[in-house]
Structure 1
Amino acid sequence: MTALTHPRLPARRGGGAGTWWSKAVLRAVEEAAFSAEDLRKGRALARAGAVGSITVAEGDAVAAVTDGQDAFTVEVTVPVLDDSDASAFTELVAAEAGRIGALLAGQLPHALVESVEEAGVELLPYGGELGSACTCEAWLDPCPHALAVLTQLAWLIQADPFVLTHLRGLPRERVLRDLHRLAPPQDAVTAEDEPAPEVVDDLVVAEDAAVRAARLLQRDSPFDAW
Structure 2
Amino acid sequence: MNARGFPAFPAGPTRRVRSYWAAGWLAALTGAALDTQPLRRGRRHAARGHVGPITISPGRIAATVHDGDPEQAHHSVLRVDPLPQADWDRLTAALAARSGHLAALLAGQLPTELAETAGVRLLPESGQLLPECDCPDWDHPCRHAAALGHQVAWLLDAEPLLLSLIRGRDPRDLLAPPTEPTEADTPTRTGPRACPVGDGTPAGPAYAGAPGPLPRPPDGPARVTLPPLPPDPGVDVAVLRERIRLAADRAAALLADTAPPQPGWARSSRGPTGP
TM range (shorter): 0.7 to 0.9
Matched letter for residue 77 of structure 1: R
Aligned pairs (5 A) from 1:78-93: 78-93=80-95
Alignment of 1:112-131 (within 5 A): 112-116=114-118, 119=119, 121-131=120-130
**Between Structure 1 and Structure 2, how many residues are aligned?**
187
Q: Select 2:178's aligned residue among 162, 176, 181.
A: 181
Q: TM-score of the superposition, structure 2-length normalised?
A: 0.62
- Secondary structure, aligned partner of 1:30: helix
Structure 2: how far apart are the matches of 1:60 and 1:68?
25
Q: For residue 12 of structure 1, what is the aligned residue in structure 2? A: 12
Task: Label 1:168 to 1:107 Cα distance change in 2 as closer, same or farther (>3 A).
Answer: same
Q: SS in structure 1 opposite 2:123?
A: coil
- The alpha carbon displacement at 1:94 in A equals 2.5
Give 1:74 shift.
0.7
What's the CA shift string for 1:39-90, capped at 9, x where partnerless? 1001111111111111111101111112122201111101101111111112
Check conservation: 2:17, 2:157, Cα contact below 8 A. Answer: no
Q: Distance in 2 between matches of 1:13 and 1:25?
A: 20
Contact 2:56 2:165 in 1 (8 A): yes
Q: Which whole-Å deviations, capped at 9, do the CAs of 1:151-191 have from their partners, x for residues lacking one?
A: 111111111122111010011232223xx11689x87xx99
Q: Equivalent residue for 1:72? A: 74
One-letter identity of the residue aligned with 2:64: A
Q: Contact between 2:17 and 2:154, CA under 8 Å: does it hold in 1? A: no
* Cα distance change on mapping 1:194 and 1:27 into 2, 3 Å: same
The separation in 2 between residues aligned to 1:7 and 1:32, in whole angstroms, is 28
Uncovered stretches (5+) of structure 2, i.e. residues with no partner = 182-201, 204-229, 236-275
**TM-score (normalised: structure 1):** 0.74
Q: Do the aligned partners of residues 25 and 91 (structure 1) sit closer, same or farther apart at CA in structure 2, a change above 3 Å counting? A: same
Could you tell me which amino acid in structure 2 is paired with residue 181 of structure 1? Answer: P
Aligned to 1:220: none
* Letter in structure 1 aligned against 2:55: T
| C-alpha contact 1:113 1:123 (8 A) present in aligned 2 | yes
Question: In 1, distance between residues paired with 2:22 and 2:85?
Answer: 25
Instruction: Identify the residue that residue 224 of structure 1 maps to in structure 2.
Output: none
Give the conservation status (yes or no) of the 8 Å contact 1:106–1:159.
no
Q: 1:191 to 1:10 in 2, by over 3 A?
A: farther
How far apart, CA to CA, are the structure 1 residues paired with 2:60 and 2:17?
Answer: 26
1:62 maps to which residue? Answer: 62
Q: Identify the residue that residue 110 of structure 1 maps to in structure 2.
A: 112
Change (3 A) 1:111 1:122: closer
- Is the alpha carbon distance of 1:56 and 1:193 closer, same or farther for their aligned partners in structure 2, counting shifts above 3 Å? farther
**Does residue 132 of the first structure (1) align with residue 135 of the second (2)?**
no
Q: Which has the higher contact order (CA 8 A, sep 6+)?
A: 1
Q: Which amino acid aligns with 2:138?
A: W
| C-alpha distance in 1 between matches for 2:43 and 2:36 | 10
Q: For residue 50 of structure 2, what is the aligned residue in structure 1?
A: 50
> Following TM superposition, where does structure 1 have runs of at least 4 consecutive aligned residues deviating by more than 6 angstroms?
none
| Amino acid corresponding to residue 150 of structure 1 in structure 2 | G
Query: What residue identity is the alignment partner of 2:140?
Result: D
Identity of aligned residues (%): 36
Q: How big is the shift at 1:10? A: 2.3
SS in 2 for 1:15: coil
CA distance change for structure 1 residues 181 and 14 in 2, over 3 Å: closer, same or farther? same
Q: What is the SS of the residue equivalent to 2:63?
A: strand
2:164 alignment partner in structure 1: 165
